[in-house]
Amino acid sequence: MGVTRQKHAKKIMGFYKHSFQFREPFQVLLDGTFCQAALRNKIQIREQLPGYLGGAAQLCTTRCVIKELESLGKALYGAKLIAQRFQVRNCSHHKDPVSGSTCLLSMIEDGNPHHFFIATQDQDLSNKVKKKPGVPLLFIIQNTMVLDKPSPKSLAFVQKLQTNQLVPEYQKQSIVELKEKEGLAKQEGEKRRKRKRAGGPNPLSCLKKKKKKTQEGQDPSAEKKKRRKRKRNRVKAEAMPSVQKKEGE
């Protein structure tokens, strides 16, 4: 495995781990075209893929993919044997199987909540996967498995998340469920219904302003009266000696 290719994969895996919370073991959904390409190029998927992704991987497929390979006969018999070795994930097409590409697309609806990788050689399926943010894409080129770089949809999605403009659908549902469990949803609704009534003026603002008191705790008018009284007493005191002198004569 080339060092450059390994660094490329490590950088892309870092993006999906940080931005979309991908964790080990990585869930990889494979279709018949990928299994056929691996067989033709002698790639040991189970042994090589975990080392390339840098962690444990669970290889899986769906009943629709296996049914499709069975319907194509001997030409894809080897690819069918490879696909049958993987875990079979439940899809919503138990009674009426659909094409492998349609089935895999249905597995990554609603924001890819199960964090699936899609491994395919189908160009049409690849283009549709790139239109869904948060879905890593694997394919085989020249005897080598390649993890495609993040699509413009994934990059734009992350940019919106960073500016708090968007929440993934599966996270929205989780938030709603948690609120209902804790009884917060009802409380928030009651808070919205309550309106603040228009109140009257502040009773403190209606009180008459008190006159400023002097340092002795008296208002200015009382202080003036006190000064006048002292002045009168002083005048009387000064007049007393002269009166007494006249009476003595």
Q: Walk along the chain (249 residues) and give the pLDDT tens digit of each residue.
A: 578 888 999 999 999 999 999 999 999 999 999 999 999 999 999 999 999 999 999 999 999 999 999 999 999 999 999 999 999 999 999 889 999 999 999 999 999 999 999 999 999 999 999 999 999 999 999 899 999 999 999 999 999 888 776 566 666 667 777 777 777 655 555 656 666 666 666 666 666 665 555 555 555 667 777 777 777 777 666 666 555 555 555
Question: What was the pLDDT predicted at 163?
Answer: 78
Taking domain 1-149, whether its CATH number is 3.40.50.1010 is answered by yes
Would you state the pLDDT for residue 44?
Answer: 95
HEC per residue, 209-222: CCCCCCCCCCCHHH
Q: Where in the chain are the domains?
A: 1-149
Strand blocks (E) in the chain: 26-30, 57-62, 87-89, 116-119, 137-141, 144-147
- Gap between the Cα atoms of 93 and 111, Å rounded: 20
Reference 125, options 108, 113, 111, 110; nearest CA is 108
Q: Do 157 and 166 touch, CB atoms closer than 8 A?
A: yes
With CA atoms as reference, report the closest residue to 88 among 59, 54, 113. 59
Model-level pTM? 0.67
